[in-house]
Amino acid sequence: MGSPPLVVGEIVGKVDPVDLDIYIQNAYYPVLSASGTQQIEKVSETEQEVSFRIYYGSAGASNHPNQVIFRFYESEHSLIGALIKEEIDFAITESYSTVEEVHKSTNAYAIHFRYKKPNEVKTLVFNNQHGILKSAAVRQALTYLIDRHAILEKILNRTADLADSPLSRESPLHLSDLEEYKFNPNKAIQLLQQENWFDTDGDDILDRYGIPFRIALGYEKGVSLEEQLATRIKLAWNKIGIDVIRKPMIKSEIKKCLADKNYDVILTTLAFDESIESIESFFSSKSNDNIFGYRNRKIDRLISLYRIQSDQNSRRLLLQAILKQINYDQPGAFLFFLWLDRYFVNRHKFTNFQSKGKLLPFTEWEFRK
């Protein structure tokens, strides 16, 4: 291959290796320049590594990387260890604590950030077909039990906005009068009692008609931020008598469980567009991509009305009505819009990896001589 490879560190809980082509095309990993003069081809794949070859054309690129290896780790802790040992040239994290740990341990990396795309929301996806979670009141209660302000302060380092819908407050479609589901355990308990959830046998677990309130909480395995959030959520639900089984999962498992509706609750990040197509895909009863298993005839009618309406203002009002109904029904708990991705670049090995504070594509990086 000539020059040594550029190694990207990743976590199996966060990214499915089969999706790497999509991540590269969408510039999540800044592999290729926008000019399109280079080409990339997958040349090998194992469970631990996926290798790509970069072709620069007739001009060649002797001092630029022509091989990119994606190396997968079981946990962010293992990824941090590899960073400290300089086994990795590039990595991305959402975790502020990971940045702190690497920064304290080595000066090998330039550590920067980039802003996330709009409407990427950290979400608790509720399986609306689950026996316990069919009730909107129960789903509302679960959201009221999460102290998001405390999480924002203590875990997210204030680098996120609270969410109340799939679209952020910066969206022109956002409604100002949506329920924010602020931390309110008393409200949550009231809602659950209205649904006949009580601890009738004194075992500290709520039950109804002999069925315990027991749910599995899936989340991205080994990903520091997801583990911290899942722990907070579990403890919050435990406090009022909900038995929560934590279920760390690799990304491919999460994708399959969501597609098959074979889960209770899954913590993940969803990306929405400000369009009827995006909302319909996630929330229409007729959509094959409705991972929530959410069914609401009013939503379906509003989508149909939108489709036959040509007036743009009327369309906007209809879409906002859909968002308001989703906010009430809580098919999922929309938690946070994180602001940043943080990334590491091995400055001991590479130069020319940024310009005016902006990360350049790998094809413009140069090996230090």
Confidence band for 1, pLDDT divided at 50, 70 and 90? very low
For every residue of 80-91, DSSP letters joined together read HHHHHTT--SEE
% the chain with pLDDT above 90: 92
Residue 285 CA, chain-centre distance (Å), reads 23
Report pLDDT for 60: 58
pLDDT tens, 69-88?
999 999 999 999 999 999 99
Predicted model pTM: 0.94
Q: Which fold has domain 6-116+340-367?
A: D-Maltodextrin-Binding Protein; domain 2 (3.40.190)
- Residue 35 pLDDT: 72
Beta-strand pair 332-338/67-73: unpaired
Contact 217, 265 (CB under 8 A): yes
Check whether 47 has a pLDDT greater than 90.
Answer: no
Q: How do the domains of the chain map onto residue ranges?
A: 6-116+340-367, 120-195+249-338
Residues whose CB falls within 8 Å of the CB of residue 153, separated by 6 or more in sequence, listed in order: none
Gap between the Cα atoms of 315 and 311, Å rounded: 6
How far is residue 216's CA from residue 264's CA, in Å, rounded to a whole number?
A: 6
Average pLDDT over residues 55-68: 80
Cα–Cα dist 29/44, whole Å: 18
127 CB burial (10 A radius; 0-12, 13-18, 19+):
buried
Could you please state the CATH topology (level 3) that the domain comprising 120-195+249-338 is classified under.
Dipeptide-binding Protein; domain 3 (3.10.105)
- Give me the helices (H) in the chain, please: 20-25, 76-84, 96-105, 136-144, 148-154, 185-194, 224-239, 251-260, 276-283, 297-308, 312-329
Per-residue pLDDT tens digits for 174-204: 998 999 999 999 999 999 999 999 999 999 9
Residue for token pair 């969803």: 270
pLDDT in tens, 276-320: 999 999 999 999 999 999 999 999 999 999 999 999 999 999 999
- What average pLDDT score do residues 158-182 get? 94
Percent of the chain predicted with pLDDT > 70: 98
- pLDDT (0 to 100) of residue 356: 87
Nearest-angstrom CA–CA distance, 206 and 193:
10
Q: Which pLDDT score, from 0 to 100, does residue 339 have?
A: 96
Q: What is the pLDDT of residues 201-235, one digit of tens each?
A: 999 999 999 999 999 999 999 999 999 999 999 99
Can you tell me the distance from the alpha carbon of 36 to that of 137, in angstroms, rounded to the nearest whole number? 51
Q: How far is CA 236 from CA 145, 192, 334, in A?
A: 6, 15, 16
